[in-house]
Amino acid sequence: MLRPNDEHPIAALASGSGPGAVGVIRLSGLDCWDVVKHCLGGISEPTARRVGVKVFLDPITLESVDELVVVFFKGPHSYTGQDTVEFFCHGGPYIIQRILGLLYAHGARPAQAGEFTKRALLNGKLDLTAAEGIKDLVEAQSRQQWLAGRQLYTGKLKEEIDSLRKEVIGAMAYLEAMIDFPDEEDTHHVGLSHVRSRLGNVSKQLTSLVSTFQSGQVASRGLMVVFAGAPNAGKSTLLNTLLGRQRAIVSATPGTTRDYIEEPCLFDGRLVRLVDTAGIRETNDQIEREGVSLSNRLIEEADVVILLNSADSSSSEREAMATLKTSLQAKAKQLKNISLIALLTKSDQSQPAWASGLMPISCKTGDGVGDLQAALIKIVDEHTGSLEERPFLTSQRQQSALLAAQSAVDKFTHQAQQKAGPEMLAFELLEAARALSSVVGDISNEDILDKVFSEFCIGK
């Protein structure tokens, strides 16, 4: 399964960039000690997993670059499964660049994003869900992200997928027997109904797992909160107020924001992604029209839509917001759980009668800002509160594979009701088993691997 250059030694900084007390440099690949030994005075491969303090030299000028800690891991007992050396040097950017430059000059090449973890996967050290978990753990800013990463990394989701796959494969074995011994009809009848009921359970478990997707995404990427409102409703001002800094341009001219602006922030430890959009209105301006259609797309992807009605809004603007609210309520029933928060912005100007039932907020005085934050925190907790106890989905990739598995199981049930032959039934189950396998690691699919690992940082 390894491609030819997958064993070539690669090196990168594994710790964060920028000055730090300690920098961690990782080198991994076939015979990687040969790359480093020139820089450590020619010493031979040390005992694995034993910490040594060494001087790192430029082998040509013999200049000492740093005194550092070195640990050697003999493959397969390493993160990647290949021979690996880790250096703990002083964390100054110059030292790190010098050390990496010398490693590259002596046979290593720079690692690509996620390449160490990709090697770990290809060497069977982890499955694809655990690799995704490592990404979440590395990026975790909130407890919810950490929970998402941990349940993937510790194999909670994998266990669930494996047990579903086992059920499907058990049913396939039974159908194979039906194909091989077609004469035992009585036994077949009883057996098939047993298989159908077991697959009914598989279908229920798949439905339950698929239903965790939105909440899992809220945990792993944060709550996506999109602002929607007429031009000048105060969307960009609200973004700046919630972020506590001037991020978006604010002006009294309607139509100021044309593109969308997405910014992550933490509210009491919960990760929220705030998205400011172009004000929604009919317009002949081509660029603004693009912005409005982008706003509508973002609203569809949101977990929460904040509908802004400003105290100085016109009745037609309020009508447009009311129509949007009704259509989102209908969508929320059918598609996903979109929460809606309707605000009266610029409440310092006036609190008109039509605004009863809206949450008043003024970015000028700060009134109501805390209430809005509390409402968003509550929504995050409603999504993620139950995730501690159960496995859940965190990526679109997992979701698509499970939907494919579910569709195959549903087809099996339908075909079985239609009294289809065992070959046909076995085909649907094979599709379901394949889709389930792809969640934990279809390592023959280069596109999927590239997609997963392109989202990693270099050094992981």
Contacts with ligand GTP by CB under 6 A lie at 229, 231-237, 250-252, 254-257, 278-279, 345-346, 348-349, 362-364
Nearer to ligand GTP, 255 or 352 (CB): 255
CB of 276 to Mg ion, least distance (A): 6
254's contact among Mg ion, ligand GTP, none, with CB below 5 to 8 A by partner kind, is: ligand GTP
Residue nearest to Mg ion (CB): 257
Nearer to Mg ion, 199 or 238 (CB): 238
Nearer to ligand GTP, 117 or 257 (CB): 257
DSSP 8-class letter at 7: G
- Which of these segments, 6-14, 249-257, 346-354, 417-425, binds Mg ion (CB under 5 A)? 249-257
Nearer to Mg ion, 227 or 392 (CB): 227
Name the strand (E) or helix (H) holding 393: none
Radius of gyration from C-alpha coordinates of the chain: 28
Nearer to ligand GTP, 221 or 346 (CB): 346
168-174: long-range pairs with CB below 8 Å, 24+? 168/199, 168/202, 168/409, 168/429, 168/432, 168/433, 168/436, 169/429, 169/433, 170/198, 171/195, 171/198, 171/199, 171/429, 172/426, 172/429, 172/430, 172/433
CB of 234 to Mg ion, least distance (A): 8
Nearer to Mg ion, 95 or 239 (CB): 239
CB of 249 to Mg ion, least distance (A): 7
d(CA 167, CA 162): 9
394's contact among Mg ion, ligand GTP, none, with CB below 5 to 8 A by partner kind, is: none
Q: Are 30 and 46 in contact (CB under 8 A)?
A: no
Asked if 236 interacts with Mg ion (CB under 5 A), we say yes
135's contact among Mg ion, ligand GTP, none, with CB below 5 to 8 A by partner kind, is: none
What CA–CA distances, in Å, run from 127 to 51, 119, 164, 201, 449? 29, 11, 16, 25, 11
Asked if 240 interacts with Mg ion (CB under 5 A), we say no
Extract the runs of DSSP E, i.e. beta strands, from 202-297: 223-229, 261-267, 270-276
The answer to whether the peptide bond before residue 254 is cis (omega within 30 degrees of 0) is no
Asked if 220 interacts with Mg ion (CB under 5 A), we say no
Interstrand relation of 359-360 and 339-345 (parallel, antiparallel or unpaired): parallel
C-alpha torsion angle, residues 79, 85, 88, 92 (rounded to 10): -100
Burial class (CB in 10 A: 0-12, 13-18, 19+), 315: exposed
d(CA 276, CA 58): 51
> Could you tell me how many residues of this chain bind Mg ion (CB under 5 A)?
4
237's contact among ligand GTP, Mg ion, none, with CB below 5 to 8 A by partner kind, is: ligand GTP
252's contact among Mg ion, ligand GTP, none, with CB below 5 to 8 A by partner kind, is: ligand GTP
Nearer to Mg ion, 57 or 248 (CB): 248
Nearer to ligand GTP, 1 or 252 (CB): 252
CB of 361 to ligand GTP, least distance (A): 7
Q: Concatenated DSSP letters for 321-384?
A: HHHHHHHHHHHHHHS---EEEEEEE-TTT---GGGTTSEE--TTT-TTHHHHHHHHHHHHHHHH
CB of 347 to ligand GTP, least distance (A): 7
251's contact among Mg ion, ligand GTP, none, with CB below 5 to 8 A by partner kind, is: ligand GTP
CB of 238 to Mg ion, least distance (A): 9
From 150, 325, 155, 366, select the one nearest 228 (Cα to Cα). 325
First to last CA, the chain: 20
Nearer to ligand GTP, 136 or 276 (CB): 276
CB of 342 to ligand GTP, least distance (A): 15
Q: Residue 177: how many CB atoms within 10 A of its CB?
A: 15
Asked if 257 interacts with Mg ion (CB under 5 A), we say yes
CB of 284 to ligand GTP, least distance (A): 16
CB of 360 to ligand GTP, least distance (A): 10
Binding site for Mg ion (CB under 5 A): 235-236, 256-257
